[in-house]
Structures are given as structure tokens and as C-alpha cells.
Structure 1
Amino acid sequence: MTASPADVQSDVLLARILSSLEDDKAENVVTIDLRGRSSVADYMVVCSGRSSRQVGAIAEKLMERLKHDFGRICRVEGKEQGDWVLIDASDVIVHVFRPEVRDFYQIEKMWIAPEAGTPARPA
């Protein structure tokens, strides 16, 4: 029997997301642990695709896999442009960038807490 979307633990969801990103050749994948720091999600994942086309494909395949594996329908923003796609999988937020856009926004720096000694960890 398949678990309902709400029953999937965030660690299981994160593992499936990281596996999907690896399968689709996402680059520079970084996982940021948000537990205890944000009520929005337990984890944030930031990665890059080499082109707008790859960014869109990474996002599309990830959403398909999460729907198939967990019955989870994700909210998505930016897929049409392909520069920066935000995928809200509830307990895990995924950002897929083109490298230039990722360098410009440097979103990881907003969430890394150097004073706590807990930097983002590469996946």
C-alpha cells in the first residue's frame, strides 16, 4: 500500500529528490537543513542545470517522480522561463538554477549559518 503524501517523512522525500537530481545530471547540488530554523520546510536543495532546457527537464522529471512515487503534487514557479525553477514539495523546497542566475542570487548564503558552524552540505 502506498503512503499518503502527508505520511512521507522529509528524510525519505529528500533522498528521492537527491536521487532524481543525480539521475538527471544536476550540478553542484547543495542540501541545507532547515529543521528548527524555518517552519516553511525541513530541507532546501539548491542545484544547477547547464541550460534553460536542462533546468526545465530536471524540474519536470522531479515533479513526475514525486507524483509517481509518493502521490505528491508539487507547486512550481518559473518552469516556463527555465532560469530558476522553484519546486515546493512541502517538506523540501528545491531550487534549480542556470549557473549564471544562481551566481547572481546566491540563495545558499541567505540560509547558511556560519555562526552555528552548520554550513550547507554538498549532496
Structure 2
Amino acid sequence: MNSLELLQLTAKACDDKRAEELVALDMKELSLIADYFLICHGSNERQVDAISKGIKEAVEEKGVEVKKIEGKEGARWVLVDLDDVVVHIFHKEERSYYNLEKLWGDAEKVSLSV
């Protein structure tokens, strides 16, 4: 599975858990961390946790290893590291505060098929 397919798979998993305002950024030219960032938010901590669990289940079902999940304790900003794709799942309030879309404003947005 290539990184774009993985991005689409994770976006679908987020959408299945009703994540809001999904934004995918192409990071290949800007960062060594990952090929893509996927950013979304949930309206409460339970939803943020459910989104991260949905991603984990979806990718593991396809044989993709989750490298690390951070932030699950407070479920205000959960980061799911899939190596080529890093998913940032925010609580709505934290998303507007950290505003990763602006921070990485030079990144090209990627169209998602969800």
C-alpha cells in the first residue's frame, strides 16, 4: 500500500467515526517526518478516542503497522503515526488553537475521496 492509498484509508476511517473538517496536507517537500498529514477534529474526548481507535482498526486490518499513538490519555490532541501518514485528531477547541493548517500553510492540500 502506497502512502496516498494509506492516506485515503485513514481519511475513510475518520469519516466513518464522523470526524469533522478533514484536511490532508502533502508534506513530501516540506518535512522528513511524513509524506502526508491528515488533520481532523471531534466534538468531544470520546469521539476523538473513537476516531483514533477506528484508524488503528482500519489500518491493521490491511496489514499496516501503527508506529505510535500519542495523546490518548486526555484525548484533546491524539497523534497517530503510520510512518508515511501522520494523523492529527484534535478536540475542536485545540484544533483552532494550534491551527496546523496555518503552521504548514506552504503545504499543498490533497483531495480526499470520502
TM > 0.5 fold call: yes
Could you say which residue in structure 2 is the equivalent of 1:88? Answer: 81
State the AA in 2 paired with 1:24.
K
Q: Runs of 4 or more off by more than 6 Å in structure 1?
A: none
Could you say which residue in structure 2 is the equivalent of 1:43? Answer: 36
Following superposition, the deviation at residue 28 of structure 1 comes to 0.5
Alignment gaps of 5+ in structure 2? none
Alignment gaps of 5+ in structure 1? 1-7
**Bigger CA radius of gyration:** 1
Maintained 8 Å contact 2:24/2:37: yes
- Deviation track 1:30-69 (CA, whole Å, cap 9, x = no partner) reads 0000112211110001000010000001001111111111
Paired with 2:52 and 2:13, the residues of 1 have a C-alpha distance of: 10
Q: What RMSD in Å do the two structures reach over aligned CA positions?
A: 1.5
> Are 2:92 and 1:99 equivalent residues in the alignment?
yes
Q: Which has the higher strand share?
A: 2
Q: What TM-score results when the alignment is normalised by the length of structure 2?
A: 0.90
> Are 2:60 and 1:64 equivalent residues in the alignment?
no
Paired with 1:12 and 1:121, the residues of 2 have a C-alpha distance of: 12
Q: Which has the higher helix share?
A: 1
Q: What TM-score results when the alignment is normalised by the length of structure 1?
A: 0.84
Paired with 2:40 and 2:63, the residues of 1 have a C-alpha distance of: 22
Maintained 8 Å contact 1:112/1:120: no
Could you say which residue in structure 2 is the equivalent of 1:17? Answer: 10
| Distance verdict in 2 for CA 1:12–1:122, change over 3 Å | closer
Paired with 1:73 and 1:21, the residues of 2 have a C-alpha distance of: 15
Q: Which has the higher contact order (CA 8 A, sep 6+)?
A: 2
- Deviation track 1:10-47 (CA, whole Å, cap 9, x = no partner) reads 01101101111111110000000011221111000100
Percent pairwise identity: 35
Alignment: residue pair count: 112
